[in-house]
Structure 1
């Protein structure tokens, strides 16, 4: 049975309180059972509470669980998605760990769309509609205690663990980069901590974005001109510690360096 509007709002209120207070809470599904559709309803309510301009403030979309291993771990047979809000995009500033609960980072490939991409969407549609591809570092955050995430429904409701986004300065034409073979290495204080290639994202990052375009149609949304689409984490997430310096080096897309404070 679907959650009532009151129940959805109550779950969103709990997550918003954790977001505001920086005091993590137990996973929602420990007390309330709900399905994926309801999880997205909670996510939208939470996003509207957090974002200054509501969904009008969306600068793009983000994907999560783009690997089969992560999907199997949380028991959901598909990726998950959420919104990217304007105020979560960091501009040449350090990661504000004091304003977060337990941040982590992962490297991603971002797509900047030159035009709308109406469903049905193919990977070729994504590539031909992309203005540029950019190096991205996503800062993940969980409102749950100790990153305890027993279900995909918890992750979805919690903004797909959205915390912040850092976009690199290098914008490359999509035809200049073999995205499937694009490599990335993440170093912490000069020591390599994680690595991967674009093929780790559903075989090709454009495939993940095309999946998103088709899935968004189910919620009366879509891929829009000018949006930034985060295609999902290539590397494993790395815990962020104050004072550390993180360097994310892509093979062709450029690099991003950021510091935590």
Structure 2
């Protein structure tokens, strides 16, 4: 069975892959395999819905021995409502991020002001998960890429429009679990500013003849080191942006 078939099967309830199943020698080959997985999902009515950006902080890059971020495809069923079942995952984590909602196609030469004019920004929660066993923080970079940058689910809060890059700088988020403070994070950990991460994604996609289309969602990078997902009510309060919740049952 090919690595694409194994990843596809694992995503649909099949056995998790062993980390010895490599499947690609370079990141370029890994991105090609990721696209093959997305194409297989699209055939069954689970189309591409956007992208997530991973390894956007020095700390997370150090965990995996990376020197730049990675991106992965979000599928239609990656977009969750405010209740998720923990048993639907393999080995899930939790992160909090800003979600960029793409209202108009973004071109590779768009500047930062134009990008912001074409998007709305929402508070978000991401639940990373992998189709590999015992994956965090042990996967090779090519495995992360093949596995859609360990895309699990994202929860998107109410979006705002008209925000500037300066308003995204030095944003604090307070994350609680069952009303108890879990962690505090800051947007400066996302490549200095989440808009920088989105611009990186636009350029990276362009190198692979892809772009951000209207209707897509971009999960722009975590404000915190990921923590294991537990049952309970998570709430993320983003300074100047808003609040988002997810209940894990």
Seen in structure 2, the aligned counterparts of structure 1 residues 143 and 247 have a Cα distance that, compared at 3 Å, is same
Partner residue in 1 for 2:245? 257
Secondary structure of 1:160's counterpart equals helix
Seen in structure 2, the aligned counterparts of structure 1 residues 255 and 10 have a Cα distance that, compared at 3 Å, is same
User: Is the 2:91–2:133 Cα contact (8 Å) retained in structure 1?
Assistant: no
1:16 aligns with 2:8: yes
Match of 1:59 among 36, 42, 49: 49
Q: Normalising by the residue count of structure 2, what TM-score does the alignment of the two structures yield?
A: 0.90
Question: How far is the alpha carbon of 1:177 from its aligned partner?
Answer: 7.2
Partner residue in 2 for 1:35? 26
Please give the per-residue CA displacement for 1:97-134, whole angstroms capped at 9, x wherever unaligned. 1221122111010112232221134434422332x210
User: Is the 1:121–1:211 Cα contact (8 Å) retained in structure 2?
Assistant: no
Partner residue in 2 for 1:75? 65
Please give the per-residue CA displacement for 1:70-92, whole angstroms capped at 9, x wherever unaligned. 22332332111122212221124
Cα distance in 2 for partners of 1:98, 1:89 equals 17
Question: How far is the alpha carbon of 1:146 from its aligned partner?
Answer: 1.8
User: Is the 1:121–1:210 Cα contact (8 Å) retained in structure 2?
Assistant: no
**5+ long unaligned stretches in structure 1:** 1-8
Question: How far is the alpha carbon of 1:247 from its aligned partner?
Answer: 0.9
1:162 aligns with 2:147: no
Q: Normalising by the residue count of structure 1, what TM-score does the alignment of the two structures yield?
A: 0.86
Q: Which has the higher helix share?
A: 1
Secondary structure of 2:222's counterpart equals coil
1:123 aligns with 2:112: yes
Cα distance in 2 for partners of 1:118, 1:219 equals 13
Where does 1:57-206 land on structure 2 (aligned, <5 Å)? 57-92=47-82, 94-130=83-119, 132-148=120-136, 149-175=138-164, 178-206=167-195
Partner residue in 1 for 2:221? 232
Cα distance in 2 for partners of 1:28, 1:213 equals 32
Question: How far is the alpha carbon of 1:59 from its aligned partner?
Answer: 2.2
**5+ long unaligned stretches in structure 2:** none
Question: How far is the alpha carbon of 1:32 from its aligned partner?
Answer: 4.8
